[in-house]
Structure 1
Amino acid sequence: MYTLKIRRVRNSLGVILPKEALHKLRVRQRENVFITETPSDTQTACNSDFAKAMEAYRKVSTKYRNALNELAQ
């Protein structure tokens, strides 16, 4: 577990990741990191396949909302 401090970056807020966390997440400068909430905890993903899957989900989520809700049950 890492403790991250929220800092002001111009008109936004940001965090600085320690080298150990960057190495563990296998991320480099300018890569995207996705943070998702689950009922039990918060998870991170920095995988390009994850980004593609989320983009595909966004495209169909509103059109097939009822079907996705049924599948979730």
Structure 2
Amino acid sequence: MSTSIALKVTQIGNSVGVILPKEVLARLKVGKGDSLFVTELPDGVALRPYDAEFAEQMELAREIMRKRRNVLRELAK
């Protein structure tokens, strides 16, 4: 099920950000001080709770993509 919630970008100290409603925090199972992943998608972004195992996997994937850039470019053709 997909839900859309409009959030306003606001000044937070010297930065800007959005404040997530309690319902969104509960759904993500995160709270103050927790980290989130922002993942780019073709039609926007996804927000997910931080997962150390996933972070390690993503770093390994980035390393492989850097080392094998030419191979991946050829496969994409």
Q: Kindly tell me: are residues 19 and 53 of structure 1, through their superposed partners in 2, closer, same or farther at Cα, counting changes over 3 Å?
A: same
Q: Kindly tell me: are residues 25 and 69 of structure 1, through their superposed partners in 2, closer, same or farther at Cα, counting changes over 3 Å?
A: farther
Distance in structure 1 (CA, Å) of the matches to 2:61 and 2:22: 32
Q: Return 5+ residue gaps in structure 2 as ranges.
A: none
Alignment counterpart, residue 40 of structure 1, candidates 39, 43, 48: 43
TM-score (norm 2): 0.70
Report the Cα offset of residue 34 of structure 1.
Answer: 1.6
Two-structure CA RMSD over aligned residues (Å): 2.1
For the pair 1:69 / 2:73, whether they are aligned, the reply is yes
Q: Return 5+ residue gaps in structure 1 as ranges.
A: none
Distance in structure 2 (CA, Å) of the matches to 1:47 and 1:18: 18
Does the 8 Å contact 1:2/1:21 carry over to 2? Answer: no
- SS of the residue corresponding to residue 47 of structure 2 reads strand
TM-score (norm 1): 0.73
Rg (Cα) greater in structure: 2
- SS of the residue corresponding to residue 43 of structure 1 reads strand
Between Structure 1 and Structure 2, how many residues are aligned?
73
